[in-house]
Amino acid sequence: MAENSGINWTDNTFNPWIGCTKVSPACDFCYAETWDARFQGGTAARWGAKAARTRTSVKNWNKVRKWDRLAAASGRKTIVFCASLADVFDNHRSILPEWREDLWTLIRETPSLAWMLLTKRPQNIARYLPADWGAGYSNVALGISVENREEAARRIPVILGIPAASRFLSMEPLLEEVILPADALGEGKIDYLITGGESGALARKSEAAWFRSVRDQASDARISFLFKQWGEFGADGTRIGVDAAGNALDGRYWLDRLPLAA
Ligand code: SF4
């Protein structure tokens, strides 16, 4: 069912709009900014506080409804990551209120999809939730990026304070060891951890011990865990490239799906 994504923790990726502004160390070598520059003549025209975001095409939006029909027919939830080329809770003024209203309508009307809304701006989530959010839409997991201890301390309390059917952490690129508060993990709290290293020419090195720590914290809390990739550096810290480094950790693959779609 993976029609539109090379990311191993989702089936498909949907971008309602494109563009963003860097907000934390994980953004330093933003893949999406590089992508934008490549397809916009060398300049990432939609990146930065002064740059307008652009809404994607009607055709792009409509394909999500096709995913939902296919998922309904198959009887298996399809995971949709929103968004890989933007931050869905970006508060930039060029993102019109009707874009968000249309996105919430789309999410509401695609119950066979399990939506993963990932942000580095959890402080903006509450103001942009729809009026009927209640305890959280049953088909939506809210997620935050946690690349280091500072962002863990800043973002985790915010996401825990927002009602949601599921919550997850994307700990990628992991820039140091992060010990998560034990009472933040579990059913009804954060129920899914994803981690991995960085790719690209300027990739920073993550240590194997940091990944093992995340895996063991997930195991101790009995929650789902996915190891996405080593990144450019292998287990011994040698730069061997993303493909050669792969995504096996201690001899096995850790590829739990989002609990909402398991
Ligand atoms: S929040 Fe995401 S899309 Fe936005 S600049 Fe940072 S890494 Fe890039």
Q: Ligand 1, residue 33: give the atom nearest the CA.
A: 8
What tens digit of pLDDT does each residue of 114-146 get? 999 999 999 999 999 999 999 999 999 999 999
- Give me the number of domains the chain comprises: 1
pLDDT at residue 43 in the model: 82
Alpha-carbon gap, residue 46 to 97, rounded angstroms: 18
DSSP letter at 228 equals -
Nearest CA residue ID for atom 6, ligand 1: 27
**Domain limits for position 107:** 12-261
Domain contains 77: yes
% of the chain beyond a pLDDT of 90: 94
User: Is 118 within a domain?
Assistant: yes
Least reliable range by pLDDT among 32-41, 161-170, 212-221: 32-41
Chain centre to alpha carbon of residue 17? 15
Can you give the pTM of this predicted structure? 0.96
Query: What is the Å distance from ligand 1's center to 243 Cα?
Result: 23
Ligand 1 binding site (Cβ under 6 Å of any ligand atom): 20, 22-23, 26-27, 30, 32-33, 86-87, 120
Residue 137, domain member (yes or no): yes
Q: Which of 127, 47, 65, 79 is nearest to 255 (CA)?
A: 79
166-171 and 192-195 beta bridge pairing: parallel
Residue 199 lies in a domain: yes
d(CA 87, CA 128): 13
What residue owns the CA closest to ligand 1's atom 7?
27
Judge whether 7 lies within some domain: no
Residue 1, in any domain of the structure: no
Q: For residue 6, is it within any domain?
A: no
Q: Quote the CA–CA distance of 111 and 68 in Å, as a whole number.
A: 7
The answer as to whether 112 is a domain residue is yes
pLDDT tens digits, 193-243: 999 999 999 999 999 999 999 999 999 999 999 999 999 999 999 999 999
